[in-house]
Amino acid sequence: MDIRRSLSIFRLNSRIPLEQLNSLFRELVKKYHPDRVRDYPDWAHERMSEINDAYKTIVEWLANPPAESEEGEIPEDQEGGQGFRTEIAPLPAKLEIKFQPAFNKFLDGLGIYYQYGLENHEYRQEGIRRFRFREATRLIAEGQNELELLLKSCQHPIFRIAARFARLTAAEIGVAKVKLRGKEPFHTIDMRLDMARRNFEDAIKEIFFPEFIPSHLRGRAPAKLYTCYATFVLYMILFNRGERHKLGVLLTAKYDALMNLMELKDSGLLSL
Distance from C-alpha of 268 to C-alpha of 144, rounded to nearest angstrom: 22
In the chain, the domains with their CATH numbers are 3-86 (1.10.287.110), 88-266 (no CATH)
User: What is the length of the chain?
Assistant: 272
pLDDT tens track, the chain, 272 positions: 778 778 878 888 778 888 888 888 888 888 888 887 777 777 888 888 888 888 888 888 888 866 544 444 554 433 333 334 446 889 999 999 999 999 999 999 999 999 999 998 888 988 899 999 999 999 999 999 999 999 999 999 999 999 999 999 999 998 866 665 555 778 888 889 999 999 999 999 999 998 888 888 777 777 788 889 989 988 988 888 888 888 999 999 999 999 999 989 888 888 87
Where does residue 127 rank: exposed (0-12), middle (13-18), buried (19+ CB within 10 A)?
Answer: exposed
Question: Which residue, among 177, 197, 204, has the nearest Cα to 251 in the 3D structure?
Answer: 197
Q: What value does the CA radius of gyration of the chain take, rounded to a whole number of Å?
A: 20
| Residue 17 near residue 65 (C-beta atoms within 8 A) | no
Amino acid (one-letter) located at 170: A
**For residue 157, what are the contacts with CB-CB under 8 A and spacing of at least 6?**
88
